[in-house]
Chains A and B, each alone.
Chain A
Amino acid sequence: MTFDECAARCGSRLRAGLVAVYGPEVGTEAAADALAYGWENWPTVEPMDNPTGYLYRVGQSAARRYRRPQRYLPEVAAPGLPDFEPGLAPALEVLSEVQRVAVVMVHALGYPLTEVATTLGVSVSTLRTHLRRGMDKLRLALEVEPHVR
């Protein structure tokens, strides 16, 4: 697999995961740094079992070099786009990193569980656990009444 193929296949997923964790500004920068690292060290990265997961870790390390704003997720909708609950972004920021990535990538951005699990380097069942716990916290924070079956 060439770097171009890897970037085309996992680039947006990598960026989505880092944006979910660090917000649009820092997440985009970290993803770009991770892809640049992958380009530069592709002979080393390419033989790995999970290059995407490795580059995600590289992006996490790169994000530490950037100053993270106190509020990093958008709290209001962009002009012309559908509105959403103002308390959603603060509630998401309270979640743990992996819970936030799971919730945002699966429910907000619509990525399949398998791709998200590959990006995070965890099993699908582990991802389901993080996703369930993250959604439980969101329900609690936003006072969403659970369905009684």
Chain B
Amino acid sequence: MSADPSHFPHAPGDDWLRSQLAAFGVTLEAESGLGLRSPHAGELASVAPEPGVPVLRRSPDGRRRRSVWLLAAAVIVVALAADGLFVLNARDTPLGPVGNDNIISENPDDVENTQPPITTPAPVDVPARLLATDGSLLATVSYRGTSLTDDIDAEIDRLGAPRQGETQMNRRSWC
């Protein structure tokens, strides 16, 4: 078998390599409990009375490794969840880079200073025509930033039309 030199040309240097491998094997044997020194043989015999009986065998090391994996998975899930919340928050409150003029302060007192002021459009004269019920033009009124109703009432007073509160019949008769 392996003793045939034609198959294994053992060169000088191989002796050293084989001696190192043999020394390595001694340490490997000691660290792994190979052979009759293995504690698992007795463990198997103690937990399973007969062949064919299900064996539930978990070493403390195995449980510890499994716990470490579960803990790592939990940390990853929490990190992903936190990242998702951060993304949602960032989408709701868009923050620009530092130094950007678009930064919106979280202080509500600064809102007026940072947001553009809400301006009212300049008042313009709005003409309105006062028509009689038959469609004839009674007068043209205009208002500027005040109630159109007041302007109409004033014009009605000027024309001598019935005042507010008078009956609709009177108004219709006036028209």
Contacts and interface: CB of A to CB of B under 8 A. Distances in A.
Nearest to B8: A132
A48 interface: no
B34 A36 contact: no
Contacts of B40: 28, 31-32, 35
A40 B55 contact: yes
Contacts of B33: 28
Given A15-B38, A103-B21, A147 B9 contact: yes
A14 B93 CA distance: 62
Interface residues of B, number: 48
B160 interface: no
Nearest to B47: A36
Contacts of A128: 2, 7
A39 B9 contact: no
B115 interface: no
B69 interface: yes
B98 interface: no
Contact of B28 (A33, A104, A124): A104
Contacts of B52: 40-43
B23 A83 contact: yes
The main secondary structure of chain A at its interface with chain B is helix
B57 interface: yes
Contacts of A36: 44, 48, 55, 57
A39 B24 contact: no
Given A81-B26, A108-B22, A149 B9 contact: yes
Given A40-B53, A78-B31, A84 B13 contact: no
Given A85-B20, A113-B1, A113-B2, A3 B27 contact: no
Contacts of B11: 145-149
A139 interface: yes
Contacts of A81: 23, 26-27, 30
Given A36-B44, A145-B13, A66 B62 contact: yes
A95 interface: no
Contacts of B90: none
A47 interface: no
B120 interface: no
A11 interface: yes
A43 B53 CA distance: 11
Q: Which 3 A-B pairs have CB atoms at the shortest separation, nearest pair first?
A: A147-B11, A108-B25, A24-B32
Given A40-B51, A84-B27, 20 more contacts: A11-B41, A12-B34, A16-B32, A16-B34, A36-B44, A40-B48, A67-B65, A77-B23, A77-B26, A81-B23, A82-B23, A103-B21, A104-B21, A104-B25, A109-B28, A142-B17, A144-B14, A147-B10, A147-B12, A147-B14
